[in-house]
Copies of this chain bind each other. A is one copy, B any other.
């Protein structure tokens, strides 16, 4: 998506260790018009698939996910990072390692909000190693729901998570696909 690539080139900042900061418009300060245009693009990509629920994980996936839910005219569910290790029987849970923070989060969804007949589109702001996507897919599968695909804002192709999931048959669509980036600030899209 051209507008997103241009915005990354204009406002993205590369930090040492392969971290791309898009705090200016995507996950700290957020441009609601860009988010809306991205949601419309996800509707174009997944519109014919019978999606009835959008699934993301807190916190930075929520903005794109709620706007996508608005455009798809269906509810959004966000998985919560659990504060306790004692997981109740009322929730589905999964462990998701964080690339950015170097830790692992236990992530939960109430069993009330994922069902066997759901057709789920997973939405997130970033795709790198794919750990969050794998975790969210796992939550959906625990409920017996079908994952129709994943709509991502920014994919770091060179970290391989997206292509691994594509090889397993998941339709993963990323609105900006970064094939390489260097510490001196050069970003290439694919």
Q: Which positions in A face B, CB cutoff 8 Å?
A: 23-25, 28-33, 35-36, 58-59, 62-63, 66-67, 69-70, 73-78, 80, 83, 101, 109-110, 112-113
Contact = CB atoms under 8 A, between A and B. Distances in A.
Interface centre among A23, A66, A110 (most CB of B within 10 A): A66
A77 B32 contact: no
A70 B36 contact: yes
A76 B33 contact: no
Copies of this protein chain in the complex: 2
Given A58-B58, A70-B36, A30 B63 contact: no
Contacts of A63: 62-63, 66, 76
A72 B77 CA distance: 24
Interface centre among A28, A78, A101 (most CB of B within 10 A): A28
Given A59-B59, A67-B66, A70-B67, A76 B29 contact: yes
Given A59-B59, A110-B23, A112-B24, A32 B66 contact: yes
Given A33-B73, A63-B66, 15 more contacts: A23-B110, A24-B112, A25-B75, A28-B78, A28-B110, A28-B113, A29-B110, A29-B113, A30-B66, A30-B69, A30-B76, A32-B73, A32-B74, A59-B62, A67-B70
A23 B90 CA distance: 13
Interface centre among A30, A31, A83 (most CB of B within 10 A): A30
Nearest to A114: B29
Contact of A83 (B32, B78, B83, B101): B101
Contacts of A33: 70, 73
Contacts of A29: 75-77, 110, 112-113
